[in-house]
Amino acid sequence: MSTVVAIRGVHKVFGAGADRTVALEGIDLEIEKGAFVSLIGPSGCGKSTLLRLIGDLTGVTAGTVQVNGKSAVQARTDHEYGIVFQSPVLFDWRTVQRNVELPIELSGLAPAARAKRAREMLALVELAGFEERYPWQLSGGMQQRVAIARALSFAPSILLMDEPFGALDEMSRERLNLELLRIWQRTGTTIVFVTHSIPEAVFLSTQVAVMSARPGRIVDLIDIDLARPRDELTREQPSYFQHVTRVRESLRRGDGQRTPVAAAP
């Protein structure tokens, strides 16, 4: 297994003087090729910031982020990233097909090739037949699937997902979790996934990185060795609940670290 993401001694500080906030402190994390790593933690723990650092949407204050042996900036320039945000961020003026084509259009792929690729990606997210619709004609879950198809269109080596299903109802979310796993298995793309849902993190991941708030630290890295492929039944297995409990306790300990006085009996 080769390392896709190598994060070493990363600090991230926002603002200066009285407004100075330490968002991340001493982050070390290695993500293997083909892994599905979830970042979980309380609000304000910097999990989204960490994701954005990997994707070079923001810079580190100290430390290094390497992606496939390159700097994050270089990796971004080389189109190593597919990004899915909490909102689908589709363009109203483009059809579903043209939204999915956007990244490969910008990278200069020929029209016929990118149309073919976009259709394949839409089939992958089970939206074949919706090519000529506009985003606002689709449900929230379908829009998010279009966003995933778009992120995968230039076959990124790493998919960064920032609470992609956070705005969806529980049922859509569980269905999309299953679909995401299927896509992950088919494409073999390395995925870094930010969530605040413990069940979601456990169900999806090969590893869950548990973070504590202010300053954001990784307090635990838990291997989720549930059998694959996972399906609806996975959520009913005792080992699944054990993992959920393990992550929850880890989160609580992380929280306790932050406020030791309150935790004292």
Partner 1 sequence: MTARLRQAIPPVAVFVAVLGLWELAVRAFGISQFLLPRPTAIAIALSEHADELATVGRNTLVEAVGGFAIGGGAALVVGFATARWVAASRVLLPFAIAANSVPIIAFAPIMNNWFGILNPLSKMMVVAVLVFFPIMINTLRGLTLVDPASIELMRSYATSELDVFRTVRVPNALPYIFTAVKVSATLSLIGAIVAEYFGGAQSVLGQFIITEAAFFRFANAWAAIVVASAISIAFFLIILGVERVALPWHASARAGREA
Pairing mode of beta strands 81-84, 158-162? parallel
Q: Does 233 bind partner 1 (CB under 8 A)?
A: no
Q: Does 46 bind partner 1 (CB under 8 A)?
A: no
DSSP 216: B
Q: State the Cα angle at 244 between 238 and 246, rounded to 5°.
A: 105
Q: Does 81 bind partner 1 (CB under 8 A)?
A: yes
- CA dist., res. 174 & res. 236, Å (int): 13
| Residue among 91, 110, 232, 239 that touches partner 1 (CB under 8 A) | 91
Among residue numbers 126 through 165, which ones bind partner 1 (CB under 8 A)? 134, 136-137
Considering only 34-42, 102-110, 113-121, 174-182, which stretch makes contact with partner 1 by CB under 8 A? 102-110
Q: Which residue has the tokens 């299953």?
A: 178
N-to-C CA span, the chain: 45
Count of residues making up the chain: 265
Nearest distance from C-beta of residue 106 to partner 1, angstroms = 5
- Structure-token pair, residue 50: 């960490």
- Return the number of the residue (46 or 103) whose C-beta is nearest partner 1: 103
Considering only 38-46, 83-91, 204-212, 236-244, which stretch makes contact with partner 1 by CB under 8 A? 83-91
For residue 193, give the nearest of 174, 182, 180 by alpha carbon.
180
Positions touching partner 1 (CB under 8 A) are 55, 57, 76-79, 81-83, 85, 87, 89, 91-94, 102-103, 106-107, 134, 136-137
